[in-house]
């Protein structure tokens, strides 16, 4: 792990605190989730749900997850053996990769990728093989031939993140079909990071890979309450997969954290059953915030790519005369009093993302407006 050091999120968030800058870097909301769900957590603590819950997770949450999958995606998962509660999606990803990979195995991921992927693969002593997402007609996508060429006899997993952080792309059915066909042709397991599943815009549909023919039995489906309900600090996620895969993941997970906090699990179970209308309103509000930030960034001189999901907008900094996103983001607090994330740190091929910078729009309108006002200094 010596190669990894401090995450870019920790570095930039600390920079925001040190300089008093507006933090449009790390993807966490500055408002809380549904009040009734928060109250359920308080009630659970007061009622004594403060000791170890069962290792697989509180049955109430596992049942709620199962019902949610059935209701939203027509996917059937048995809460007794096909649902596992984890300490956020990050733990779910790490435990899955470590459970399913042997040293020397290869894991395909689409770059730019969430930084924990590379660390999890390193912990498993496996090798990350990056397939690059590139802008085509305003959205990031992959070349099917490049993906096919990435598969070797050592390939074990394909890690699929859609809606995708950090590009904001949502894979289409045609793109997912390419991935599904490869998995079935080569006997691969898919690990799907779907934490932004409910945060898509402009009517774009999120399609779980597990819903495609032949994929439920070879997919580890990972989700989380953090983004769905604006409670990122609760770190409550889950895995849905066939029993053998869930057993493998739980075997690793039990020695990472053993179990996840009981009060949050009970509150999230309530949220999945009773607060999905709140989530719909959140999605609509985020779409407005996306448009607000995009308009402001364009006015400030950035070339802006329109995301179909997540919390994030990708920008090309070259129209402003900059070519290195890492250098710019480290200077941005001084230049404009704003913190952002350099996208190049999420690439194996850093040169392909050097000119992109990511901004988060999961913030109050007044925060977005003030950040935009400050960023206009770059072109003045």
Q: How many CB atoms neighbour CB 76 within 10 A?
A: 11
Percent share of the chain, pLDDT over 90: 96
Token code pair at residue 260: 């996840």
Query: CA dist 187 to 108, 218, 239, Å?
Result: 14, 8, 20
CB 353 within 8 A of CB 316: no
Token pair in block for residue 138: 């305003």
CB 96 within 8 A of CB 191: yes
Q: What is the CATH number of domain 8-33+277-378?
A: 3.90.1150.10
pLDDT value at residue 340: 97
Note whether 168 and 307 are within 8 A (CB): yes
What's the CA gap between 57 and 260, in Å, rounded?
A: 7
pLDDT tens per residue, range 312-322: 999 999 999 99
* pLDDT tens-digit map of 79-91: 999 999 999 999 9
C-alpha to C-alpha distances, 79 to 51, 189, 290, 317, nearest whole angstrom = 21, 21, 36, 47
> How does residue 3 score in pLDDT terms, banded at 50, 70 and 90?
confident
Q: What is the pLDDT of residue 20?
A: 95
pLDDT tens profile 141-152: 999 999 999 999
pLDDT higher than 90, residue 26: no
Q: State the helix-helix crossing angle for 116-123 and 88-100, rounded to 10 degrees.
A: 30
How confident is the model over 292-313, as pLDDT tens digits?
999 999 999 999 999 999 999 9
pLDDT-based confidence at 189, cuts 50/70/90? very high
CATH 3.40.640.10 location in the chain:
35-275
- Intra-chain end-to-end CA distance of the chain, in Å: 42
Q: How many CA atoms lie within 13 A of 33 on its CB side?
A: 28
Question: Is residue 230 left, alpha or beta, with left meaning phi > 0 and alpha meaning psi from -120 to 50?
Answer: left
Mean residue pLDDT of the chain comes to: 97
**pTM of the predicted structure, to 2 decimals:** 0.96
CA distance 33 to 303: 32
3-class DSSP state of 286? helix
**Strand duo 127-132 + 106-111: pairing:** parallel
Q: How many residues are present in the chain?
A: 380
pLDDT tens-place string over residues 217-259: 999 999 999 999 999 999 999 999 999 999 999 999 999 999 9
Note the CATH number of domain 35-275: 3.40.640.10
The C-alpha atoms of residue 149 and residue 133 are separated, in whole angstroms, by: 15
CATH 3.90.1150.10 in the chain is located at 8-33+277-378
pLDDT tens string 326-377? 999 999 999 999 999 999 999 999 999 999 999 999 999 999 999 999 999 9
Q: Check: CB of residue 349 under 8 Å from CB of residue 146.
A: no
- What is the pLDDT, as a whole number, of residue 380? 73
258 burial type by CB count under 10 A (0-12 exposed, 13-18 middle, 19+ buried): exposed
pLDDT tens by residue, 268-283: 999 999 999 999 999 9
Per the CB < 8 A criterion, the answer to whether 340 and 359 are in contact is yes
Q: What is the pLDDT of residues 109-127, one digit of tens each?
A: 999 999 999 999 999 999 9
Which is it for the CA torsion 5, 11, 228, 131, positive or negative? negative
């Amino acid at each position: 792990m010596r190669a990894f050091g401090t995450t870019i999120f920790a570095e930039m968030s600390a920079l925001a605190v040190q300089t008093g800058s507006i933090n449009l870097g790390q993807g966490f909301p500055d408002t809380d989730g549904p009040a009734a769900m928060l109250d359920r957590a308080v009630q659970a603590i007061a009622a004594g749900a403060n000791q170890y819950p069962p290792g697989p997770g509180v049955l109430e949450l596992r049942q709620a997850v199962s019902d949610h999958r059935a209701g939203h995606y027509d996917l059937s998962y048995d809460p007794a053996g096909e649902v596992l509660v984890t300490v956020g999606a990050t733990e779910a990803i790490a435990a899955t990769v470590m459970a399913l990979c042997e040293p020397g195995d290869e894991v395909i991921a689409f770059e730019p990728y969430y930084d924990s992927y590379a660390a999890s693969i390193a912990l498993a002593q496996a090798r990350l093989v990056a397939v690059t997402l590139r802008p085509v007609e305003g959205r990031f996508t992959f070349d099917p031939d490049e993906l096919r060429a990435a598969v070797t006899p050592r390939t074990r997993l394909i890690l699929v993140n859609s809606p995708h952080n950090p590009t904001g792309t949502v894979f289409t059915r045609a793109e997912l079909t390419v991935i599904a066909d490869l998995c079935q042709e080569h006997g691969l397991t898919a690990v799907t990071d779907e934490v932004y599943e409910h945060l898509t815009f402009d009517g774009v549909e999120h399609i779980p890979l597990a819903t495609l023919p032949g994929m439920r039995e070879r997919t580890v489906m990972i989700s989380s309450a953090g983004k769905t309900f604006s409670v990122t600090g609760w770190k409550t996620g889950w895995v849905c997969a066939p029993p053998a895969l869930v057993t493998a993941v739980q075997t690793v997970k039990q020695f990472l954290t053993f179990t996840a906090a009981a009060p949050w699990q009970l509150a999230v179970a309530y949220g999945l059953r009773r607060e999905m209308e709140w989530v719909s309103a959140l999605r609509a509000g985020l779409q407005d915030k996306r448009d607000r930030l995009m308009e402001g960034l364009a006015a400030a001189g950035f070339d802006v790519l329109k995301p179909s999901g997540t919390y994030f907008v990708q920008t090309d900094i070259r129209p402003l005369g900059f070519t290195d996103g890492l250098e710019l983001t480290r200077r941005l607090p001084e230049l404009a009093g704003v913190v952002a994330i350099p996208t190049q740190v999420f690439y194996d091929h850093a040169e392909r993302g050097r000119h992109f910078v990511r901004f988060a729009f999961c913030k109050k309108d007044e925060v977005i407006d003030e950040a935009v006002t400050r960023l206009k200094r770059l072109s003045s």
